[in-house]
Chains A and B, each alone.
Chain A
Amino acid sequence: MGTAGVAVDSAKGWESSIAWAVVTVDVVVFTVGGALLAVTGFEVVAFVAVSIGAVGLGVLGALVVTARGPVRTGWLLLAIGSGMLVSMTFRQAAWFAYEERGATIDVARGLYLVSDVAFTLWLPLQLLLFFTFPDGRLPSPRWRPAIGLLAIVTVTATGALFGAVGFIRDPAAVLAGDSWTTRAGFAAEAEPYLQVFDAVTGVLLLLFVLSIASLVVRMRRADDDERRRIAWVVYTGVAWLVLIPVAAVERASKPVLSNLQEALGGLAVLVLAGGFAVALFRHRLWDVDVVVRRTTVYGLLWLAIVGTYAAVAAGFGLVAGARLPVEVAIVLTVLATLVFQPARQHLEQAADRWVFGRRRSPAQAVHGLAERIDTGQVPIGIAAQLATTASTAVALAHVEVVLDGLASASRGTPNGEPVLRVPIVCAGRRFGELRCRPHVGRRLTPDDEALLSALASQVGLAVSHEQLSSRIVHAHETERRRIERNIHDGAQQELVALVTQLRLARNQMNGDERCAQVLADVQREVHEILVNLRELAQGIHPSVLADGGIVAAVEDSCSRLPLPVTLCVEPSLRGCRFTDEVEGAVHFFVSEALTNVLKHAAATGVDVRLGFDGARLTAQVVDDGIGFEPGSAVGGGLGGLGDRLHALGGTLSVDSRLGERTRLSARLPAAPMARVSP
């Protein structure tokens, strides 16, 4: 079902569809009433004012249902609006049938009965709305008797109505005048029913005052924020309190409903609709505006489309009503309304897209988050991304993302304990929690919860992946150190021991020059092996890196290069030590970059820079060689280099073109651990 200005892609479910179907039926009823009005000219002011207000209430109700506010309140608004429309239109129908078409009195009685039953129902519902506003619940259980009384009054009044309707003598008099007070148009047998009706009307007035009192009580108890939100509806109730006595005084002085009385009745309904509209849109009651995404441009467009729609439907009804038999006109009007419905729907969607661009559906939210995780910083950035995505995809008052010991982020203002806690997990490991709290009076649907949990699990996956990568790098680094240590303390020591043995053996040769010479040669060879082994250990994990830090290790790498090297080190970096992974990655980057320069660049000089800004280590290797085609990725080392930096949250950038100098840069988040003596 098409939606009036509602985010087209927001989750609606069947409730929302039914709500908007009811609104469409309301519009149909409204246009039928309008067509009848064109013929009868009966109660023009009351019909126009009440019906427009009633359609407005219905639309507001449907919006509340769609925006997943307190659904009960949304349905109440819809029911009240529909009741008003049915009541007003059947009054028109009864007048039309009896006065214009000379229908039998029974037909008139029947149409009148429908109209008044609708009235007798919507008025108590209106009180129920006041009693249960804004969260769909009573302020406290103490108010329950009032609701019970309201139910009794409603049933009694409806019963009295059914009883009295059979004794209507003059339907025109009953319709036109205040005959429930004056008894005009009723047969004498109706008197007992009318007295019952008088009695329940008194009780109803009392209940009405009570319902306004309940609103005032609620407002006094609320915090500032909630008070601002419900204030306008309270003002509406108070306005009604004023309007009703004025209407009563006016009614007592006139035998027939006056224009002023009609206007007062219409005003009351318009004030009600207006009060709710202000509360909903201006003060973000139930966050309906988040769903509607009210903007001036869109609001005007929407009004234009709905207005044109109503005008076309009503105009068609009026024209048809003037030229065709009314029954045919009504059928045609209904048909026209239904036919124009899809057109209105499409126009609205087009306006929606034009003003707001494409909306973020749940699928888009999940997809968008996935994209940002891919390019974003884990884990600090990802916590913020999740908070933003969650709060925009599911309109929350407050959302907080906590990645245990890693990062946290929040959106909105805290307004109490979280209502929903979604664990951020992956493969049984828990990384943190997504805490959500909806706005006052709103609840989270199963769809919302499913979406939030999908978002959380995406983040769980990303964090798990991230930790896995850095664990792999860590394991890699640890393993290299272990191997280096084993070479130094194992093979190297064994060979040194062998050297001492050889030397001792030589000492014991006692003049056997030939044997001594052989042993000397063997000892020289072992010495060579030792030198090679030292180089090997250096290549696997430079001891200079472990003992002297990144600057010493890079200096060492540079000094080994058979090319003029200019090394420029940020002074603050001297003596700084970082984690093994960070130092290993930067050293690996410089070594690989220098190896690439030697192998491919045909350079005559290299420029190496190390920088540190307190949060980020940067290393840059620039050669004056022949460059390479970007994308051809000279040397397999570059891919591995990128992986290793990426796993630690860093980046690698390659800047080269064929025939030009090559610049390799690495950036890596790093925190200095301790200073060592230089």
Chain B
Amino acid sequence: MSDRFRVVIAEDHYLVREGTRRLLESTGRVQVVAAVADPAALLAAVDRHSPDVAVVDIRMPPTHQTEGIGAARTIRARHPSTGVVVLSQYAHALYAFELFRDGTAGMAYLLKDRVGDLDELLHAVETVTRGGSVIDPAVVESLIARGANAPPSRLPALTEREHDVLREMAQGHSNQAIAERLYLSRSAVEKHVSAILAKLGLDPDDDSVSRRVVAVLAFLRSYEPS
């Protein structure tokens, strides 16, 4: 089927690799064209298959640290039409920042547990294929939760509702989708998004897809002490 996403999986753990492959294929919307175990094989597979999406484990041989992030950015640089979903064990925002350092388009940062959350995973695959971005809500969540105790932000505080909207934005949802998920009117969501962008010092009129994740990153960064 031509409408299926062509996906390459890179994961050094055999059971996780095969499980992810079967799960994605079980949706009927994904065709796994290659499943490999290390960064070199990943880059070779992407070169050969030019897939729509690469699903990449953050920890891979040889050092099992953040090879996945390096590989993801290499793929984005070499193959702008291939989106990348990085699956990570780490909830810390540091790794998301590292992934999005040179740009956010076509990249997603998800916690590994999401492989069981098939809808979320599929949503991320779809979003990066469109050139959008996704940050795992748990990453945003933990910072928001902590931020309540230690607000070092030099930005005006977001309201509770704006936090909710930002969390949805982080997941790459459109205003329409956010409105449906939060039971709000579409115009209310648009108002909140504008307010968030303004508070984060971004141009409220430019709410393109990648701009919205920039907003999320700006929000996360505001928790970094200066």
Q: What separation, in Å, do the CA atoms of A81 and B26 have in the docked complex?
A: 114
Q: Which of A219-227, A440-448, A555-563 is near enough to bind chain B?
A: A555-563
For the complex formed, measure the closest distance between the CB of B204 and the CB atoms of chain A, giving whole angstroms: 28
Known: A561-B150, A563-B150. A496 touches B112 (CB 8 A): yes
**Residue pair B116, A559 in contact (C-beta under 8 Å):** no
User: Closest CB-CB distance, B148 to chain A, in whole Å?
Assistant: 9
CB distance from A224 to the nearest CB of B (A): 62
Whole-angstrom distance between the alpha carbons of A641 and B22 in the complex? 49
Residue B103 at the chain A interface, CB threshold 8 Å: no
* Known interface pairs A500-B20, A501-B19; A567-B225 also in contact (CB < 8 Å): yes
Number of A-B contacts (CB under 8 A): 103
CA distance A492 to B65 in the complex (A): 14
Q: Which residues of B contact A544 (CB under 8 A)?
A: 90, 92, 94
Are B59 and A500 interface neighbours, CB within 8 A?
no
When the two chains form the complex, which single residue of B89, B147, B151 contacts A534, counting CB atoms closer than 8 Å?
B89
For window 141-161 of chain B, which residues contact chain A by CB distance below 8 Å? 143, 146-147, 149-152
**Minimal Cβ-Cβ distance residue in B for A487:** B89
Taken residue by residue from 163 to 204, chain A's Cβ proximity to chain B (1 for < 8 Å, 0 otherwise) reads as: 000000000000000000000000000000000000000000
- How many whole Å from B17's CB to the nearest CB in chain A? 9
Option from B13, B65, B118, B149 in Cβ contact (under 8 Å) with A503: B118
Instruction: Write the nearest CB–CB distance from B77 to chain A, whole angstroms.
Output: 16
Contacts of B116 in A (CB 8 A): 499-500, 502-503, 523, 526-527
A547–B94 touching, CB < 8 Å = yes
B107-125 CB mask vs A (1 if < 8 Å, else 0) is: 0000011011010000000
Q: Which residues of the other chain, A, contact B94 by a CB distance below 8 angstroms? A: 544, 547-548, 552, 556
Determine the chain A residues whose CB is within 8 A of the CB of B149 once the complex forms: 561-564
Task: State whether the Cβ of A488 lies closer than 8 Å to any Cβ in chain B.
Answer: yes
The residue in chain B whose Cβ has the minimal distance to the Cβ of A608 is: B225
Tell whether, in the assembled complex, residue B225 and residue A500 are in contact, meaning their CB atoms are under 8 Å apart: no
A556-B115 CB under 8 A given contacts A500-B19, A500-B20, A569-B225: no
* B46 close to chain A: CB less than 8 A: no
Beta-carbon contact of A496 and B16 below 8 Å: yes
Do residues A497 and B150 form an inter-chain contact, with CB atoms below 8 A? no
**Are the CB atoms of A489 and B64 closer together than 8 Å?**
yes
| A530 CB within 8 Å of chain B | yes
Contact for B91 among A494, A500, A534, CB less than 8 A:
A534
B150 A496 Cβ-Cβ under 8 A: no
Name B95's closest neighbour in chain A (CB-CB).
Answer: A547
Q: Point out the residues of chain B lying under 8 angstroms from A531, CB to CB.
A: 113
Q: A547-B65, A547-B94 are in contact. Are A564 and B150 (CB under 8 A)?
A: yes
Q: Are B91 and A497 in contact (CB under 8 A)?
A: no
Query: How many Å lie between the Cα of A543 and that of B147 in the bound state?
Result: 21
B1 interface residue, CB < 8 Å from A? no
With a CB–CB cut-off of 8 A, which chain A residues contact B91? 534
| Contact residues in A for B112 (Cβ distance below 8 Å) | 492, 496, 530
B44-72 contact mask (Cβ, 8 Å, vs A): 1 or 0: 00000000000000010000111000000
> How far does the alpha carbon of A502 sit from the alpha carbon of B116 in the complex, in Å?
8
- Interface centre among B26, B59, B225, by most chain A C-beta atoms within 10 angstroms, is B225
Residue A546 interfacial (CB < 8 Å): yes
A607-B106 Cα distance, complex, nearest whole Å: 40
Instruction: Write the nearest CB–CB distance from A431 to chain B, whole angstroms.
Output: 33
B115 touches A504 (CB 8 A): no
Within 8 A of B (CB), among A81-117: none
Does chain B have a CB within 8 A of A485?
Answer: yes
Contacts A492-B112, A497-B13, A500-B19 given; does A559 touch B95 at CB 8 Å: no
Chain A, interface size category, equals 35 or more
Within 8 A of B (CB), among A471-507: 485, 488-489, 492-494, 496-497, 499-504, 507
A426 within 8 A of B: no
Q: Which of A422-448 contact B (CB under 8 A)?
A: none
Return the contact of B224 from the options A485, A500, A555 (Cβ within 8 A).
Answer: A555
Most buried by A among B64, B101, B150, B224: B150
Give A485 to B90 CA distance when docked, in angstroms.
12
B23 within 8 A of A: yes
Q: Which residues of chain A come closer than 8 Å to B224, judged between CB atoms?
A: 555
A677 within 8 A of B: yes
CB-nearest residue of chain B to A523: B116
The residue in chain B whose Cβ has the minimal distance to the Cβ of A544 is B92
What are the residues of chain A within 8 A of B23 when measuring CB–CB?
500, 503-504, 507
Q: A489-B59, A558-B150 are in contact. Are A500 and B115 (CB under 8 A)?
A: yes
Residues of B within 8 A of A567 (CB): 152, 225
Closest B residue to A537 by beta carbon equals B89
B73: min CB distance to chain A, Å: 12
Q: Which residues on the B side are within 8 Å of A566 (C-beta)?
A: 152
A497 to B16, CA, bound (A): 4
For A561-597 the 0/1 string (1 means CB < 8 A from B) is 1111111110000000000000000000000000000
Q: In whole angstroms, what is the CA distance A499 to B92 when docked?
A: 21
Bound form: Cα–Cα A496–B92 in Å: 18
Query: A497 contacts B64, CB within 8 Å?
Result: no
What's the minimum C-beta distance from B103 to chain A, rounded to whole angstroms? 15
Apart from A504-B22, A561-B150, what 20 extra A-B contacts exist at CB < 8 Å?
A488-B59, A497-B19, A500-B16, A500-B23, A501-B15, A503-B118, A526-B116, A530-B113, A531-B113, A537-B89, A543-B90, A544-B90, A544-B94, A547-B66, A548-B94, A555-B225, A558-B150, A559-B143, A563-B150, A677-B98
Q: What are 25 A-B pairs with beta-carbon distances under 8 A?
A: A488-B64, A489-B13, A492-B89, A494-B15, A496-B19, A497-B13, A497-B19, A501-B15, A502-B116, A503-B116, A504-B22, A504-B23, A523-B116, A530-B113, A543-B90, A543-B92, A547-B65, A547-B95, A547-B98, A548-B94, A559-B146, A559-B150, A564-B149, A569-B225, A677-B98
Residues of A whose CB lies within 8 Å of any CB of B are 485, 488-489, 492-494, 496-497, 499-504, 507, 523, 526-527, 530-531, 534, 537, 543-544, 546-548, 552, 555-556, 558-569, 677
Report, nearest first, the 4 A-B pairs whose CB atoms are least far apart.
Answer: A500-B19, A497-B15, A499-B116, A493-B13
B residues near A (Cβ < 8 Å) are 13, 15-16, 19-20, 22-23, 26, 59, 64-66, 89-92, 94-95, 98, 101, 112-113, 115-116, 118, 143, 146-147, 149-152, 223-225
